[in-house]
Amino acid sequence: MSNEPERIAKFLARAGVASRREVERMIAAGRIHLNGEVLTTPAVKVTDADKIDVDKKPAPVKQQARFWRYYKPVGLVTTERDEKGRKTIFEDLPEDMPRVMSVGRLDINSEGLLLLTNDGELKRKLELPSTGWLRKYRVRVNGNPTDEMLEPLRRGAVIDREAFKPMQITLDRQQGSNAWLTVGLREGKYREIRRAMDFVGLRVNRLIRVSYGPFQLEDLTPSQAVEIRAKTLRDQLGIDTVTPHKPEETTERPARANFKKTPRPNAGRPNSGRTNTTKPNSGRPNAGRPKRR
């Protein structure tokens, strides 16, 4: 057991209950009991020796930090519960996955890479603007964009009285009445790319996130989740932990989209910052074979 006291919101976030802010809301709603009493303030510290109940059930035990890459399909919302009754990503995840939270969000009409974790404290840190991780998207727009048209977004623009930071935008190719762009952001305002493209007269009709910081969508298919290697977590996040499951264990469901007539989501993506998710000896058919003498 840990003898180091921790604020209860941080303690439960690390146990994967919810983010710190959400835990504080749960305390205000009277949903958390500490040692048999309803907790009324988050300003308390706890250890593993304390008895904590969430919604009248024992709080989960703190686990080793684990992360997954997940391909969010179009049509799902990135919330645990949806007041409109729409299907959430958590209903789409395999049943054998532990309780997880998403790092950031993608709106219902967007698809691509979401990071999932069982550690609410790490989720919070990775979402902070100070982390400064670049997020890249493949964006299909209806129209004929030019560099001159996109320049205001590259410089940074004020849209609906809200300041948007400069975007990295590359015009990849024109395909009939549509064009493909690669867009890089370091912040995550609500529907930021769609609003920005509307601002310059372009309409987004497909949006795929292909990377989040050093983590890549790679060859994931819709609804597929792949656990990130423990070594990668140590290298990229400084997490000194060994996942209790086989690294790069894949859990997937049948793909729900056909990409035959559309470019691969990671097409045109630079190689900088990518993680090592390739198979051993990929592209080296003779690697590992003993030399003949």
pLDDT tens per residue, range 196-219 = 999 999 999 999 999 999 999 999
**Residue 27 pLDDT exceeds 60:** yes
The number of angstroms, rounded, from the C-alpha of 257 to the middle of its chain's C-alpha atoms is: 20
Cβ atoms of residues 181 and 120 within 8 Å: no
- Of 107, 119, 147, 240, the catalytic one is 107
Least confident range from 111-115, 203-207, 220-224, 243-247: namely 243-247
Q: Is residue 266, in this structure, part of any structural domain at all?
A: no
Give the SS3 label for residue 292.
coil
Domain identity same for 75 and 192: no
pLDDT at 19: 79
Domain identity same for 45 and 77: no
Cβ atoms of residues 262 and 74 within 8 Å: no
Q: Is residue 258, in this structure, part of any structural domain at all?
A: no
Tell me what percent of the residues of the chain surpass a pLDDT of 70: 80
pLDDT at 76: 96
**Residue 1 pLDDT exceeds 50:** no
User: Range of 195's domain?
Assistant: 134-212
243 vs 232: CA distance, rounded Å: 11
Domain identity same for 38 and 169: no
Give the CATH number for residue 43: 3.10.290.10
Return the higher-pLDDT residue of 182 and 186: 182
State if pTM tops 0.85.
Answer: no
Whether residue 92 lies in the annotated active site: no
Q: Is residue 149, in this structure, part of any structural domain at all?
A: yes
The number of folded domains in the chain is: 3
Q: Is residue 268, in this structure, part of any structural domain at all?
A: no
Q: Is residue 281, in this structure, part of any structural domain at all?
A: no
Domain identity same for 77 and 49: no
pLDDT at 234: 82
Domain identity same for 197 and 239: no
Domain identity same for 147 and 208: yes
Q: Is residue 282, in this structure, part of any structural domain at all?
A: no
Average pLDDT over residues 217-226: 95
**Sequential DSSP letters for 151-182:** HHHHH-EEETTEEEPP-EEEEEEEETTEEEEE
Question: pLDDT band at residue 53, thresholds of 50, 70 and 90?
Answer: very high
**Residue 186 pLDDT exceeds 50:** yes
Average pLDDT over residues 224-229: 92
Domain identity same for 33 and 171: no
Q: Is residue 275, in this structure, part of any structural domain at all?
A: no
Domain identity same for 38 and 151: no
Give the CATH number for residue 166: 3.30.70.1560
Domain identity same for 138 and 186: yes
254 vs 61: CA distance, rounded Å: 32
pLDDT at 240: 54
Interval 76-95: pLDDT, tens: 999 888 889 999 999 999 88
Give the SS3 label for residue 38.
strand
Q: Is residue 288, in this structure, part of any structural domain at all?
A: no
The closest of 103, 106, 111 to 73, measured between CA atoms, is 111
Give the CATH number for residue 125: 3.30.70.580
Return the higher-pLDDT residue of 265 and 46: 46
**206, β-bridge pairs:** 140
Domain identity same for 124 and 229: yes
Interval 108-145: pLDDT, tens: 999 999 999 988 878 888 887 777 789 999 999 999 99
194 vs 183: CA distance, rounded Å: 11
**Residue 288 pLDDT exceeds 60:** no
Cβ atoms of residues 154 and 224 within 8 Å: no
Domain identity same for 118 and 164: no
**Residue 229 pLDDT exceeds 90:** no
Tell me what percent of the residues of the chain surpass a pLDDT of 90: 53
233 vs 103: CA distance, rounded Å: 15
Share the mean pLDDT of the chain: 82
pLDDT at 74: 97
The closest of 199, 181, 182 to 191, measured between CA atoms, is 199
Domain identity same for 224 and 108: yes
